[in-house]
Copies of this chain bind each other. A is one copy, B any other.
Amino acid sequence: MRMNTLRVALLGCGVVGSEVARQMTERSDDLSARIGARLELAGVAVRRTGRDRAASGISPELFTTDAAGLVERDDVDLIVEVIGGIEPARGLILSALERGKSVVTANKALMADDGYALHTAADKHGVDLYYEAAVAGAIPLLRPLRESLAGDHITRVLGIVNGTTNYILDQMDSYGSGFAEALEEAQSLGYAEADPTADIEGFDAAAKAAILASIAFHSPVTMSDVHRQGITDVTSADVASAKAMGAVVKLLAICELAPDGDAVGVRVHPAMIPRTHPLAGVRGAYNAVFVEAEAAGQVMFYGPGAGGAPTASAILGDLVTVARNRIGGVTGPGGSWYADRRVHPMGQTSTRYHISLDVDDRPGVLAAVATVFAEHGVSIETVRQRTERPDDAELVVVTHKASDEALTATVAGLGRLDTVRDVMSVMRVEGG
């Protein structure tokens, strides 16, 4: 039987949810033409009814606080989940999948933690689970990775996937602001939350990195597999030092195959990248993801990484697909974990490093420092020495590729030298 109407339950009605409802209504004819059936809002689950929701344009009788009941209703075909967080979202999605309802979600934390289990449930019950909006807002990314590049061998995904931290680092780079000052400005403009922890400590980017790695490398990767370091220790001196070497500091999410191809390394940390790299030009709160594949070469996806309307665009794109699939009685490509690669230990991950040291300005210091690097097998690419006050110098060392392990040992060794007053900063250098 060909359905003429598909009924959608919306779980959550914040900025994104109300935008989804608005676009579903306003662009109803276009969506119908593309799907071959009308989408109808069956209900909207909210935490509290009674709030004035007139501005949303949603009929008041559609609101309910009984999300579980809404998901179970027989007249609901598709679910859009924009509550966020692990529970109750997880339970509601599982309940929907078990009842044969396809789900579109923007929930990165949940997909990063439970992607494998949720995909397995969707596959078992023959329904779709789509989540383009979970990573990089409106930028088409998960579907291109999953489908367009499905015939290729992806070796690396390198991205700026958190707009808040990119805004902060961009301010530090463009105006010489300190971290605290730039964060405060981001908060006053609404780019950062009152509690900015999830962004500035890299949790948000790490969840997205786990999702990207799972898809790109056909292996289950979760949050806890991601090496994570935020931007709170990035100083204006780091940013200036990057500038001096023609680089810029960005918070990067990096997913890459280990040299032997059997393991996946996933990490989120600030890094210096050359200003000539396409990611270096990503300004403000924008996102961009750079994908390296064997045959395709380097491709990049760029756009707004957050916001109600862009996120709603990604959700509606998914909704059109799952609705079409539902009508056709089929499902799109589900979870793909056949490669089942292990996680590459961070200690064995190799990158270049930028290290700045506060040292005594006297003969023999450089020799002592160089000896420590040599003892740990870390090869030096360049050394720059700057004397600002008598007896007091700054040494900036950029290394060739070295393992995290070797570098950590080197830094510990440097800290034990009498002539080194302080290891002021250690930052990875990428995209060379």
A interface list, Cβ under 8 A from B: 19, 23, 27, 30-31, 33-34, 132, 137-140, 143-144, 147-153, 218, 278, 281, 293-304, 307, 309-310, 312-321, 324, 328, 330, 333, 336, 338-339
Knowing A27-B153, A152-B316, A317-B151, say if A303 contacts B304 (CB, 8 Å): no
Is A297's CB under 8 angstroms from B304's CB?
A: yes
Knowing A147-B143, A300-B302, A303-B300, say if A295 contacts B320 (CB, 8 Å): no
Q: Which of B30, B33, B147, B315 contacts A317 (CB 8 A)?
A: B147
Is B138's CB under 8 angstroms from A320's CB?
A: no
For residue A131, give the distance in angstroms from its CB to the closest CB of chain B. Answer: 12
Q: Which of B147, B278, B303, B318 contacts A297 (CB 8 A)?
A: B303
For residue A298, give the distance in angstroms from its CB to the closest CB of chain B. Answer: 6
Is A315's CB under 8 angstroms from B132's CB?
A: no
For residue A299, give the distance in angstroms from its CB to the closest CB of chain B. Answer: 3
Is A297's CB under 8 angstroms from B310's CB?
A: yes
Interface centre among A19, A307, A333 (most CB of B within 10 A): A333
Is B296's CB under 8 angstroms from A151's CB?
A: no
For residue A283, give the distance in angstroms from its CB to the closest CB of chain B. Answer: 9
Closest to A32 in B: B338
Knowing A151-B319, A313-B151, A317-B150, say if A303 contacts B295 (CB, 8 Å): no
Q: Which of B27, B139, B307, B312 contacts A299 (CB 8 A)?
A: B139
CA of A218 to CA of B34, assembled, Å: 9
Closest to A318 in B: B151
Is B281's CB under 8 angstroms from A310's CB?
A: no
CA of A303 to CA of B299, assembled, Å: 4
Closest to A331 in B: B328
Q: Which of B132, B144, B151 contacts A143 (CB 8 A)?
A: B144
Is A151's CB under 8 angstroms from B330's CB?
A: no
Q: Which of B34, B278, B296, B328 contacts A313 (CB 8 A)?
A: B296
A-B contact pairs, 14 of them (CB 8 A): A27-B151, A27-B153, A33-B218, A138-B293, A140-B299, A143-B144, A143-B147, A150-B317, A151-B314, A295-B312, A295-B313, A296-B303, A296-B314, A328-B330
Is A293's CB under 8 angstroms from B278's CB?
A: no
CA of A297 to CA of B304, assembled, Å: 7
CA of A321 to CA of B297, assembled, Å: 20
For residue A222, give the distance in angstroms from its CB to the closest CB of chain B. Answer: 21
Which residues of chain B are near A312, meaning CB under 8 Å?
Answer: 295
Q: Which of B30, B151, B324, B336 contacts A316 (CB 8 A)?
A: B151
Which residues of chain B are near A301, meaning CB under 8 Å?
Answer: 299-302
Closest to A151 in B: B316
Which residues of chain B are near A19, meaning CB under 8 Å?
Answer: 295
Closest 10 CB pairs of A and B: A151-B316, A140-B148, A299-B303, A138-B296, A140-B144, A295-B313, A296-B313, A33-B338, A150-B320, A300-B302
